[in-house]
Chain A
Amino acid sequence: MSTITLTINGQQVTVPAGSTILKAAEKLGVFIPTLCHHPQLTAVASCRICVVEVTFKGRKKLVPACMTGAQDGMEVETESAAVVESRRTILELLLANHPQDCLTCGQNGDCRLQDYAFRYNVPGAGFSGERHAYKIEDDNPFIIRDMNKCILCGRCVRMCAEIQGDGVIDFAHRGFNTKISTAMDLPLSKSECVFCGNCAAVCPVGALQEKGLRSSARTWEVKKVKTICPYCGTGCSIELNVKDGRVVGVTSCDGEVNGPALCVKGRFGYGFIHHPDRLTTPLIKKNGRFVEASWEETISLVAEKLTGIKNDHGPDALAVLSSARCTNEENYLLQKFTRAVLGTNNIDHCARL
């Protein structure tokens, strides 16, 4: 494969031909801010926050790093005075029409706009002018959609079209009135939206927030534990967001099977974990009613009953249903228990249902 060698902030780096400046910078560990860029989506270079100063063939100019191909002999400056000035202006323009409600915003602490405003010391809007006053869309149990916070990066649009493959949302109107909209500007709940929440997962600001997660924990309070979704057989990776010993939400990570995508059940179907109906103690039925019991009492009762029936009627009078919901290790142990301890092959599960 042919390669390209360029210089970024005085350091040489060699990358495969066709790489962008952003890719080359990543290889060096040099940070370049991005908003509209997402590694799994088409590059559109619309936000321009990733501009870098490139000197090439005697010419010097600002180019978007996410879209510009690296060339042999390029010299790139990622934080030159011109770059910083340009980024600050972009941030001032964005903040001129962005609610400054970070104190109560659920995305606080995990917001690119906030990060870059801090990094480039942009305390607020450098410009004053008209502001949007869209109604916050809150009529579904999954996603809060606040278009006042939208920076029009279009990540959600591309996610819905390119990964989810549904194309439920797109840019509508022109100029200052441009907004991300469903067909006929209906709420998501009245559109073809299937609430996978993949748009919210890639929103770099607080315009699209997972309702449960963002209202129950600050972003820095959660510990993320990567595991596998408990629903269908696809095996998507999910991150359980845990605060004070409680699962308060699910986020997607770059799963081996699912990449950044999840479905509505995987992303929003976690509430059963802490549901008050959860069984928390062994129960023994006495006179037709369940009575709480200790593990010792319960296990000895079960052992005694199963042993008794096995002795009186033979092992094949016993039957076990295992579970497609349990782990491999548990299914293994249960069939071992059935065969080695109970002494029967009467074990099955719901593979046929």
Chain B
Amino acid sequence: MTNSIDEIAGADFILAIGTNTTETHPVIALQVKKAVRQGAKLAVIDPRVTKLAELADYHLQLNPGTDCALLNGLANVIIAEELWDKDFVAHRTEDFASFRQWVSGYTPQYVERVTGIPADVIYKLAREYAGAENAAILYTMGLTQHISGTANVHAVANLAMLCGQVGKKHSGVNPLRGQNNVQGACDMGALPDVLTGYQKVTSDEVRAKFARAWKVDTLPASAGLTVGEMMAGTQKGCIKAMYIVGENPVLSDANAGDVKEALQKLDFLVVQDIFLTETARLADVVLPAASFAEKEGTFTNTERRVQKVRKAIAPMGRARADWEIICLLAGAMGYTMNYQSPAEIMDEIASLTPSYGGISHARLEKGSLQWPCPNKDHPGTPVLHKEKFVRGRGKFHRAEYIPPQELPDQEYPLLLCTGRRLYHYHTGTMTLRTGALEKYYPGEYLDVNPIDARKWKLTPGCRVRVISRRGEVELVVRITDTIPPGMVFTSFHFPEVPINNLTNPAQDPIAKIPELKVCSVRLELL
């Protein structure tokens, strides 16, 4: 997030796109609800009627995967009606002229045809966003899990820059991140192309700095593979061994059937986890890890806030904290990793990572810190890009609309969208073993619109086989008009409903994110 969670409540206008906030980030949703109670306008862009949509002044049930066209349409109106922030655009951005030119094609009439949103609503929303004193944009995977994910995010950034809604309080471009430490895992360089703090592996200077600190002669210079590419590499036989820590790609990845097949082809698979997950079952070796309650460390939340995780109990049985296991393994491979505690590891992180430079466990004991926090006296940064962007001027990126890769046709006439439920989390590894959540929400449903239910002769509670070009699952039908006609929806939480066997692995060419939100399916009544 460019801004902080508690600033959302102070926004005058909130544009929530592709985020089912009340279910996936319930406590962030409290801030949105507070803003609405205080009189803020809320616009929700989502094909489904979520709880958030019920609170909204504007609910735009766009055709799935047309977000980019809609966002460009808003920019088109704002430029055509001279509502943009001329001062901000002149002093803080670049490539506006070209932006203005290519976005001119996104007339409300054209966008109406693409998105299904009436042109007059596009005009109204554009005027409201541009006219708001402080407007915050929130988004989640509904925006990013498309082959056009990067363009969609660029379109969001373009809109915010166009109206000067970034670099000040209660505004900004705010992705709500889905996992406790997904922000931290990115910050720490658990990515194929960057080291900590997004320092490029391709930079000689960066590699030299890390090689010196890590006391190795060289570090690999070319970017590595992303998850999807690793699985493809495994299929092709280029990847021979994998070490998987705390992930369950057999259930979570797109076209999961192929992922399972790929992992089975490996010469050697090590899985480190707290449970024998569907992925761990395929392993040659399983390493038992400690849960969050059994170790010290830090998590970084979606607003870049680094917070202290504290050990409450001893690890189960002979399980060990992940950091201790990694140290053991490094030692056995002839590389000494000798740390007394996670605090010592954080000191090393701080010494190599400018944005974490001032962060230490001792400081975090007194309170959290939001990066960038470059030195010991720096108070942290609640709002990013205040005076300038990291790259200097904010660039208007070309973000053209591309339709989803696989849309319904005669053979597979329905669109399948997947997401999360309030009571569960990711592949259910944790939430299906709580003694509470799985009792209250014990099984999954396929949400179907009443019109489609009539068309396919479905009754509430009937079982259907959901079939895509890649796989099939069986599900119980729930008929609800929160889903638009032509779409069906379910979650990926339940191992007995491995819905990702059906999803489309087609990827965004830049972010390599799979198009989990759109694929086409057909139903067979059982």
Seen from chain A, the residues whose Cβ lies within 8 Å of a Cβ on chain B are 140-142, 163-166, 189, 194-196, 211-212, 223, 225-237, 240, 242, 245-247, 256-258, 261-266, 268-275, 277-285, 290, 295, 298-303, 305-307, 309, 312-313, 315-337, 339-341, 343-353
**With A290-B286, A325-B246, A327-B295 known to touch, is A232 a contact of B436 (CB < 8 Å)?**
no
Is B436's CB under 8 angstroms from A228's CB?
no
Q: Find out whether the CB atom of A271 lies under 8 angstroms from the CB atom of B34.
A: no
Does B375 touch A at the CB level, under 8 Å? no
Write out the residue numbers on chain B whose beta carbons fall within 8 Å of the beta carbon of A263: 26-27, 422
A330 is contacted by which of B225, B321, B335 (Cβ under 8 Å)?
A: B321
Output the least CB separation between B145 and chain A (Å).
Answer: 8
Which B residue sits closest to A275, measured CB to CB?
A: B433
Interface residues in B426-443 (C-beta closer than 8 Å to A): 429-431, 433-437, 439-440
Known: A165-B34, A302-B329, A350-B227. Is A247-B318 also a contact (CB below 8 A)?
Answer: no
Query: If A194-B422, A352-B512 touch, does A346 touch B224 (CB 8 Å cutoff)?
Result: yes
Q: Would you call B525 an interface residue if the criterion is a C-beta within 8 Å of the partner chain's C-beta atoms?
A: no
Interface size on B, as a range, is 35 or more
* Chain A interface SS verdict (over half): mixed
**Contacts between the two chains (Cβ within 8 Å), count:** 452
Chain B hits for A165, CB < 8 A: 29-30, 33-34, 37
- In Å, the complex CA distance between A330 and B34 comes to 36
Which residue in chain B gives the minimum CB-CB distance to A278?
Answer: B316
Measured CB to CB, the closest approach of chain B to A302, in angstroms, equals 5
Would you call A141 and B195 a contact (CB within 8 A)?
no
Does A235 lie within 8 Å of B227, measured CB to CB?
no
B171 at the binding interface (Cβ < 8 Å): no
A272 engages B337 (CB within 8 Å): no
B425, A231: Cβ atoms under 8 Å?
A: yes
Give complex CA distance A106, B31 in Å.
Answer: 32
Contact of A281 among B318, B422, B513 (CB under 8 A): B318
Report whether B190 and A306 are in contact in the complex, using a CB–CB cutoff of 8 Å.
Answer: no
The answer to whether B240 and A321 touch across the interface, beta carbons within 8 angstroms, is no
Asked if B301 and A282 make an inter-chain contact with CB atoms under 8 angstroms apart, the answer reads: no
User: Is there an interface contact between A232 and B511, defined as CB atoms closer than 8 Å?
Assistant: no
Q: What's the Cα separation between A290 and B423 when bound, in Å? A: 32
Q: Are A327 and B349 in contact (CB under 8 A)?
A: no
Bound Cα distance from A81 to B396, whole angstroms = 72
On chain B, the residues within 8 Å of A223 by CB distance are 312
Shortest Cβ distance from B440 into A: residue: A141
Map CB proximity to A onto B277-319 as digits: 1 under 8 Å, 0 otherwise. 0001001111111011101111111110111111111101111
Query: Could you say which of A225, A264, A349 contacts B190, with CB atoms under 8 Å apart?
Result: A349
Binding site for A on B (CB under 8 A): 5-6, 22, 24-30, 33-34, 37, 144-145, 176-193, 195-196, 201, 210, 214, 216, 219-220, 222-228, 230, 233-234, 238-247, 249, 252-253, 267-268, 270, 273-276, 280, 283-289, 291-293, 295-303, 305-314, 316-323, 325-330, 332-333, 335, 337, 339, 342, 345-346, 348-349, 367-368, 422-425, 429-431, 433-437, 439-440, 511-514, 516
B419 CB to nearest A CB, Å: 12
- A-B contacts, 28 listed (Cβ < 8 Å): A165-B33, A212-B436, A223-B312, A226-B310, A227-B309, A229-B180, A231-B425, A233-B177, A235-B302, A265-B431, A266-B27, A269-B437, A279-B280, A283-B285, A284-B284, A299-B328, A305-B270, A318-B240, A319-B234, A324-B180, A327-B299, A328-B297, A329-B297, A335-B188, A339-B201, A347-B224, A352-B144, A353-B514
CB–CB B193/A317 < 8 A = no
Q: Are A280 and B317 in contact (CB under 8 A)?
A: yes
Partner of A348, one of B225, B234, B367: B225
* Cβ-defined contact, B437 with A306, below 8 A: no
With a cutoff of 8 Å between Cβ atoms, the chain A residues found around residue B181 in the complex are: 233, 323-328, 331
